[in-house]
Amino acid sequence: MQERLVRIGTRGSALALAQAHEVRARLMAAHDLPETAFDIVIIKTTGDMILDRPLSEVGGKGLFTKEIEEALIEKRIDLAVHSMKDMQTALPDGLMIGATLPREDVRDAFISLKHTSLEALPEGAVVGTSSLRRQAQIKRIRPDLQIVGFRGNVQTRLTKLRDEVAEATFLACAGLRRLGLADHITAPVPTTSMLPAVAQGAIGIEIRVDDEDTAALIAPLDDKSTALCVTTERAFLATLEGSCRTPIAGLALLDGGILTFKGETLSPDGRRQVVSTKTGPASSAADLGVTVADDILSRGGREVLQG
């Protein structure tokens, strides 16, 4: 389809690279291109450099995308591959999501070397997670549990479990599956128990708005169902003005042209929760997300968000 070298921007973590490689493989298959037609450009982000404290203390979303987006704007790369749950709801001027890959498993994974599920943990057990959403949801289900901050890759977290820093932790099923580490999942957590982060399990390809060649290149990779669901969820998040400092969750499902969306916000201690579920046509994906957000705000969600 083209002769130019396509530069794919990504973070350097194992998961980010696995996602970039997946995009490259799909592009190779879609256009019968050799691997040499692509250059994977690793870019270190602010989120990668902060290892000594929870990211929620540093700022909101965008910590894993800012430097990559700058490279895209400056034309040092042609496209960027992101975990959609890391992306800000408002993109920088001149950039857009050009394609969304088919979504992986949206659920959270319970991981423990000793226990079979969150419910099976002994009273007062220590759970490791740095996600405020997961902390709030865990506290809502098991207020007796203790939470400790837990960052790092899968192997780092498993080592911490072996060292008994905690008895359990949580990661996204999607990331573990993409890394070929699904065997580390003790038990997937039903979304009825722990609603996932907005856009969890979805990979987005970001491009420049005026780059028609790259838009055409990635167009075959776009999964319409995933894109509609993610659009709903991100509209919900944008209306709530949520950040990494706010426990917010949401999941949209598409069935026969009808979207069903469930959203929630919680207080950090899990004691307060406001949930809303509504349905609507796929053609009104963003409107559905806004409707659910407005419903939550009108029923006490604003007070929960403001602490």
> CATH no. for residue 120?
3.40.190.10
Reduced to 3 states, what is the DSSP secondary structure of residue 204?
strand
Boundaries of domain holding 33: 1-101+202-222
Q: How far is CA 162 from the centre of its chain?
A: 27
User: Do residue 84 and residue 233 come from a single domain?
Assistant: no
Residue 56 C-beta-side C-alpha neighbours within 13 Å: 17
Position 242 scores a pLDDT of 60
List the catalytic residues: 86
Position 305 scores a pLDDT of 79
Between CA 127 and CA 111 the distance in angstroms is 10
User: Do residue 171 and residue 292 come from a single domain?
Assistant: no
Reduced to 3 states, what is the DSSP secondary structure of residue 3?
coil
User: Do residue 228 and residue 218 come from a single domain?
Assistant: no
Q: What is the CATH number of the domain that holds 290?
A: 3.30.160.40
Is 197 a domain residue? no
Closest CA to 277 of 298, 293, 266, 254: 293
User: Do residue 206 and residue 67 come from a single domain?
Assistant: yes
Between CA 14 and CA 3 the distance in angstroms is 29
Between CA 226 and CA 257 the distance in angstroms is 13
Closest CA to 179 of 204, 154, 150: 154
Q: Which value, to the nearest 10 degrees, does the dihedral of the CA atoms of residues 77, 199, 237, 13 take?
A: -50
The pTM for the full model equals: 0.92
User: Do residue 74 and residue 87 come from a single domain?
Assistant: yes
How crowded is residue 126: how many other Cβ atoms within 10 Å of its Cβ?
A: 16
Is 74 a domain residue? yes
Task: Confirm if 134 and 195 have CB atoms less than 8 A apart.
Answer: no
* pLDDT tens, residue order, the chain (307 aa): 456 899 999 999 899 999 999 999 999 999 999 999 999 999 987 666 555 555 555 555 567 788 999 999 999 999 999 999 989 989 999 999 999 999 999 999 999 999 999 999 999 999 999 899 999 999 999 999 999 988 777 788 888 999 999 999 999 999 999 999 999 999 999 999 999 999 999 999 999 999 999 999 999 999 999 999 999 999 999 999 765 568 999 999 999 999 999 999 999 999 999 999 999 999 999 999 999 999 999 998 888 877 6
User: Do residue 238 and residue 181 come from a single domain?
Assistant: no
User: Do residue 113 and residue 68 come from a single domain?
Assistant: no
User: Do residue 8 and residue 71 come from a single domain?
Assistant: yes
Burial of 306 (0-12, 13-18, 19+ CB in 10 A): exposed
User: Do residue 212 and residue 277 come from a single domain?
Assistant: no
Reduced to 3 states, what is the DSSP secondary structure of residue 281?
strand
Position 150 scores a pLDDT of 84
Out of 189, 212, 239, a domain closes at: 189
User: Do residue 2 and residue 97 come from a single domain?
Assistant: yes
Closest CA to 246 of 61, 48, 45: 61
Is 196 a domain residue? no
User: Do residue 69 and residue 32 come from a single domain?
Assistant: yes
Starting at the edge strand found earlier in the chain, the sheet holding 108-111 runs 146-148, 126-128, 168-172, 108-111, 187-189
Strands 258-266 and 108-111: unpaired
Tokens of 94: 């001149």
Position 91 scores a pLDDT of 94
Count of structural domains within the chain: 3
Between CA 85 and CA 15 the distance in angstroms is 14
Is 112 a domain residue? yes
Position 1 scores a pLDDT of 46
Between CA 241 and CA 251 the distance in angstroms is 17
User: Do residue 174 and residue 212 come from a single domain?
Assistant: no
Sign of the dihedral defined by the CA atoms of residues 183, 85, 48, 69, in that order = positive
Tokens of 6: 């396509």
Is 113 a domain residue? yes
Reduced to 3 states, what is the DSSP secondary structure of residue 265?
strand
- Looking at residue 211, its amino acid is D
Q: How far is CA 236 from the centre of its chain?
A: 14
